[in-house]
Copies of this chain bind each other. A is one copy, B any other.
Amino acid sequence: MSIRPRPTSRDVAERAGVSQATVSLVLRDRWRGRVSPARVEAVRAAVAELGYRPNLAARSLRLGRARTALVVVPALTNEFFARMYAGAARVAAGEDVGVVLYVPPDERGPAPDPFASAGAAVDGVLASSMAAESLATLSQGGLPLVMLDSEPRGPGTATVNPDIADGTRQVARHLLGLGHRRFAHLAAEVDSWTFRVRARVLAEELAAVPGARLVAAERAPITVRGGLGAAERVLAGARGKAGPTALVCDDDLLAVGACKAARRLGLRVPEELSVTGFDDLTVATAVEPELTTVALPAEDLGAAGMHALLALLAGTSPATTVLPAALLPRASTAPPPPGP
């Protein structure tokens, strides 16, 4: 089993009896009116026989662009980001653009240079839900950049966001409409735009209704365990007293944890406690009762982001796009129990 060196376009040209230029023309499908059909066939045959594939590094170098985008997400084991990635990748594939994925090794600690780690040459960057510092590193790259689910930074940058404010508003009004007045907020312990908006809008909506108020707020890692622990702290502290009747959670995983906490404390959801999530993850309809939550168009977000990046690379000026969020009322919310 000897190692056969990888064939080059020169080898193909030799075998087909044509010049390297002709091979390139055929491979890039720019041959019409320039290369005779017989030679086109000869080139294709030689390509197949040799199992030739163009050297992408050479092509990128020559063309000055790589037709490749760097996609940066905080974590992939999070279904929301995975769906966003899927949307971005679908668009990229359709436009014949490659995708290099970069996930920072750890959310803590200084973010290493994504470009050094990327290995491949990229033309632009699509970055999601980045903390401010990580974003600085990305901007320094000097590459065209589109941000997803991030703080809009004025007309100079391209941003594609879900309408977090409206989603949060819908949750608040849904619960207020059911009669709830004592709320607790189970917040994600991540300092990013999306979660800051949720906290702010929830506070605003409650402030607008007399008698409504936030009786507790807890931060937790975005996991079932995190939600469980935080909800236990919130609910245990208020046993028998004027505790919250509604738990607004920043994420479905937190909401699932909250439901588990309620069950352990003997509180029925939704009869004694209403719980809402965010994202409409798979888990939202896996549990019983199924979660009332806010569906964010994760795939569309990724797709729109990739479209925006390609437009940017083509010379469009950056803008901010906002995609709608939708409340999905399900079985984890109901009117509060008759009060004390």
Contacts and interface: CB of A to CB of B under 8 A. Distances in A.
A117 B100 contact: no
Contact of A77 (B83, B115, B286): B83
B53 A141 contact: yes
Interface string A77-96: 10100110110011001001
Interface stretch (A30-38, A59-67, A187-195, A236-244): A59-67
A159 B102 CA distance: 25
Interface string A220-261: 000110000000000000000000000000000100100010
Contacts of A90: 105
B286 A288 contact: no
A157 interface: no
A244 B309 CA distance: 54
B287 A120 contact: no
A316 to B, nearest CB: 14
A108 B38 CA distance: 35
A112 interface: yes
Contact of A58 (B61, B99, B141): B61
B57 A61 contact: yes
B119 A98 contact: yes
Interface string A259-288: 010010000000000000000001101111
B53 A115 contact: yes
A142 B51 contact: yes
A121 interface: yes
A302 B75 CA distance: 15
A285 B226 CA distance: 13
Band of interface residues on A: 35 or more
A66 B224 contact: no
B82 A96 contact: no
A126 to B, nearest CB: 13
A271 to B, nearest CB: 16
A89 B120 CA distance: 14
B282 A253 contact: yes
Interface of A: 6, 51, 53, 55-58, 60-61, 66-68, 75-77, 79, 82-83, 85-86, 89-90, 93, 96-103, 105, 112, 115-122, 140-142, 223-224, 253, 256, 260, 263, 282-283, 285-288
5 smallest CB-CB distances across A and B, nearest first, come from A98-B119, A120-B120, A57-B60, A68-B119, A57-B121
13 contacts: A6-B142, A56-B120, A76-B82, A77-B82, A89-B101, A96-B116, A96-B117, A98-B100, A99-B101, A99-B119, A100-B120, A223-B282, A253-B286
